[in-house]
Structure 1
Amino acid sequence: MSSTGCILRTAQTLASYYGLTTQTMAEHPHLATLDGRLHPAATIYRAVTGTTPNAFLTDQNMATALIVANPSVMEALRWLSACLPTQPPGDDDTGDDHLEHLITWWDETDFFLGRRPNTPDFIGLLARAAQAADTLLDIPAQRPPLAA
């Protein structure tokens, strides 16, 4: 089992136990709630570090900075992004934004589902990403390149 696969499986347990936020970032612009529910990105952070900093309750910019600064969290987000059915946002200069990809997937109505994703959808995504991380050495190029 890869370390990323272990992180993603730990996040499955956390999402099952604590639950996930049901509000969009526009409705509740924080990555955690006082009752313990977490945003999917915060679930990954907690799986890696074992903590949920206060910034996740009060300061979205600081919470985002904490997530981006942690290489293990970003690697897990990279695998999650690869398992989503859409292309991650980004450009040639900065690369793909895997965190924004997950936030957008969670906040918007999924074309394939016809509704916003829920906790079981996220747990399934975690399972697919963990299996992929354990099986593959690197994320294959599964999406065609964008037209220039």
Structure 2
Amino acid sequence: MQTTANTLERAAYLISMLGLHTGDQFAAAESDALDVCAAVYMAAEGICPPEFSTDELTSITLIESSALAMAAIRAISDVLDSSVCEDQIAPGMYVPNYIEHVSNWAATAPIGEKTPPTTSEVIGRILRAANTLATQTPTHRAA
């Protein structure tokens, strides 16, 4: 069974091999580069839908439909220095938007900086999330 930590490790590997996309959409149309959330989805589900390079709303729906991808994206969000943004779904009701938080973090320069995180920094933060999960998750011994 694939764990969230395994998914994060695979996503880091995919970004290191395919590149980090920080432009429009969740995947670059002209290369194989992936947004962080697209890499996590691909690591979780084994595919990169063509909509990732053409249709943002469909991409978000696909990512949100994968429980394993969303758990991994939330784990990345949890290790970021910024707060997760929230979407209002009804008067007085808000839900965290982990996809926006993680994607924007990778594509935006932090306060006081001139450039967004490097690909190596993004990969490092993903692996930090994986390591955090690995140290929090108890392992069971075989009897």
TM-score range (shorter-chain normalised) is 0.7 to 0.9
* Range with greater deviation from structure 2 (80-89 or 96-105): 96-105
Match of 2:117 in 1: 117
Match of 2:61 in 1: 65
Map 1:1-148 → 2, pairs under 5 A: 3-23=3-23, 29-33=24-28, 34-90=30-86, 93-111=93-111, 114-137=114-137
Unaligned runs of 5+ in 2: 138-143
Unaligned runs of 5+ in 1: 24-28, 138-148
Q: 1:35, 1:53 → 2: CA distance?
A: 14
Count of residue correspondences: 132
Name the CA shift for 1:131/1:113 in 2 (closer, same or farther; >3 Å): farther
When the two chains are superposed, the root-mean-square deviation of aligned CA atoms in Å is: 2.0
Measure how far apart 1:58 and its partner are: 1.0
Q: Which structure has the greater CA radius of gyration?
A: 2
Measure how far apart 1:93 and its partner are: 2.5
Asked if 2 retains the 8 angstrom alpha-carbon contact of 1:32 and 1:38, the reply is: yes
SS in 2 for 1:32: coil
Structure 2 length-normalised TM: 0.84
- Percent identity over the alignment is 28
Q: 1:112, 1:5 → 2: CA distance?
A: 31
Q: 1:112, 1:76 → 2: CA distance?
A: 28
Measure how far apart 1:9 and its partner are: 0.5
Q: Which amino acid aligns with 2:9?
A: R
Q: 2:123, 2:35 → 1: CA distance?
A: 12
